[in-house]
Structure formats: structure tokens, C-alpha cells
A and B are shown apart, each in its own frame.
Chain A
Amino acid sequence: MAWKDLLVERRSKETLNALLFFSLALLFVFQFTLGPDRERLASVLPGLLWLGFILSGVLGLGRAFLVEHENDCWEALLLAPGDKSAIYLGKLLGSLALMLVVEALVLALFVVFFNVDLGPSVPSLALVIALGTVGIAAVGTLFAAMTAQVRARELLFPVLLLPVLVPVLLGTVKATEALLLREALSSVGHWLTLLIAADLVYLAVGVLTFDVILEG
């Protein structure tokens, strides 16, 4: 399932390009509004980074089931044999891969444009970004399936997703902030615990309830 999505993505490249251009546009807006004040920029950088991640995520995830919906494959999905949770995990992994690629590129752009020195914190940062993205994708895939059939899909999806993701956003932004200030990973241990707990809760609910969503 995930492989199918990745193949679709590689062939069309639609979503990836759109997300990249969107992130680039965001970057420019951040620079225009905050550029001259270097100190303020440095202090809000973690927030801006995750703002970019979450907005790209909302855009990308909101379209997660668009292909099936537009091509009338939704019924095929409903009738597919086997455990529907596999579809959830497949979609999740597909979205996760896409989001991680976009995030890596956005991070690179941030480093270049805002002169950020990541230094030794790259692996820890990668861990935090991975944990946060898993949380976003876990809830996002579930809610995307929920809103795929609803008329007000584009409006309803972010309205549903963003409040629920507040803990994940708080955790990732604070952890990123600490890591960019060269603090040790252990100092943000509580945030990591929160992120892991959140990821487990969201994944569990997703796996357990996805077939309920796909009943019709």
C-alpha cells in the first residue's frame, strides 16, 4: 500500500512540488516579516520551522485520500479484503515518507537562508523531527480518511487536525529550541516522553478505529 502511494507520488510529483514551493514561499514571508531583526529571528526559528512543517503537513495529508476519492476508488478501498489497519499503516508510511522528505529539504533551506548552525545536534534533531512527524501523520491519516467524503473537506480537515496536534507541536518546538541552543538531548527528556506517548496513543487509536472509518 505504501509502495503504491510512493510510486504514485514519484510519477506525478504533484504534491511534492507543491509542498516545496509552498515551503519556499513561507520562507520568503518569514524573511520579509522578520529578516532585519536577527535576534528575534533566531529566537522564533524553531517555531517558524515547525510552522512550515505543520502547514506543509496539513496540505499534504489533506490530499492523502484525494486520489482515491477523485478516481472513485473509495468503494474499492472499502471492499478490499484483509485488515483495514494495513491500509492505514500503508497510507501512514507513504505520507510519512513524503513529509520527511519535504521537512529535510525545508530544514536545509532554513539552514542556508537563515544561516543556522546545526552543528552536533543533527542526530538529536532528526529524532525529534521524526517523532513529531509520526504524530502528525498518525492523526492526519485518520482524519484525512474521515474528511475525504465530507463536502467541506478542505476547511474541516485543518480545523480537526490542528487543535489535536497542539501537544505534539509544543513538544517538538520546545525540544527543537533546546537542541538549537546546543542543550543536551537529556534536558528535553520529558518532551521526548510526551512525543512518544502521543505517538503511541495516536497510532493505537488509528490502527484500532480505521476500519470503522472505512465502513462507508
Chain B
Amino acid sequence: MPDNWGYVIGAYGLAVVVFGAYWLRLGRREREVAALAAGRRDRAASAGRETVRSGPRSPRPASSRADAAPPVTRR
């Protein structure tokens, strides 16, 4: 029987692609969540500093919260 190395490489290559894609997807979403968390902490910190300094300010716009919600609840 011929050796059919092409198929063997194809199969292992496919596995590499699938597992690699999943691995990259995990990494990408971890970075997204970390960025969101960092952004939230920064906003909270700066809002805290400014209220201490200058008294009551106008409320923070809610749009950033709305943008944050959809990506993380989807799955």
C-alpha cells in the first residue's frame, strides 16, 4: 500500500489548526476580559479621585457599560 503521507500530514495538520484556533480564541477572549476589567478599574479609580477633589460631578455615561455587557454574556 502506498504511503499516503499527504493524508497523515493533513490529519495531524488539521488537528493542529483546530486546537490552535481554539487556543488562540481562548487567548483573545482572555485579553478582552482583562482589558474590560482594567478599564473598569481605571474609571473607578479616576472617578474616586475626582469626587474627592472636586465634589459631585455629572454621572458617568452608561454607554461604556452597555458596550461591555454583550460580549461577555453571549457565551
Q: Is there a contact between chains A and B in the complex with CB atoms less than 8 Å apart?
A: no
- Which A residues form the contact surface with B (CB < 8 A)? none
Chain B interface (Cβ < 8 Å from any Cβ of A): none
